[in-house]
């Protein structure tokens, strides 16, 4: 079975994340969306809200599971018998950052990282931009799946 973990904070999930996940369904038998818990990070949305946003966005997709985790992503992959880590790339800076992590993960394990380029229509979207739009009372609904439209 080709099982991939797609890790992130998803604070909140964006249309960019959504696009990467939908497009990766043809590549993997199962995709585990893994919400990382980082006590040092101040999130806008609670862990429960973020998990709910994702579960509702993919409620009809049987190949997708949502979990939360702490620690190294490769340890979660080992625990879940996942042999791939899925990551999206928006720009060259993302590539350089993700490449270093992928090399480290491969050095520490046999887990491969698969990169998908974001669609041009969503490449400008990041969770931090969405949070800024929300904080400033802008129309964030054009940047996120319907499941995040809470206001």
**Where in the sequence numbering do the catalytic residues fall?**
17, 41, 90, 127
Place of tokens 């585990």: 32
Among 111, 145, 137, smallest CA distance to 22 is for 145
For strand 30-36 and strand 112-117, is the pairing parallel, antiparallel, or unpaired?
A: unpaired
Among 81, 86, 94, smallest CA distance to 126 is for 94
C-alpha 110/C-alpha 130 separation (Å) is 34
């Amino acid at each position: 079975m080709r099982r991939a973990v797609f890790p992130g904070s998803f604070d909140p999930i964006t249309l960019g994340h959504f696009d990467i996940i939908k497009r990766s369904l043809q590549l993997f038998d199962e995709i585990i969306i893994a919400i990382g818990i980082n006590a040092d990070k101040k999130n806008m949305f609670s862990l429960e809200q973020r998990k709910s946003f994702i579960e509702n966005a993919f409620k009809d997709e049987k190949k997708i599971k949502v979990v939360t985790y702490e620690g190294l992503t490769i340890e979660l992959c080992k625990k879940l018998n996942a042999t791939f880590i899925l990551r999206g790339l928006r720009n060259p800076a993302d590539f350089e950052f993700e490449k270093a992590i992928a090399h480290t993960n491969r050095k520490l394990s046999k887990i491969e990282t698969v990169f998908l380029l974001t669609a041009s229509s969503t490449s400008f979207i990041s969770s931090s931009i969405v949070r800024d739009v929300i904080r400033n009372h802008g129309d964030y609904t054009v940047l996120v799946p319907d499941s995040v439209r809470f206001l």
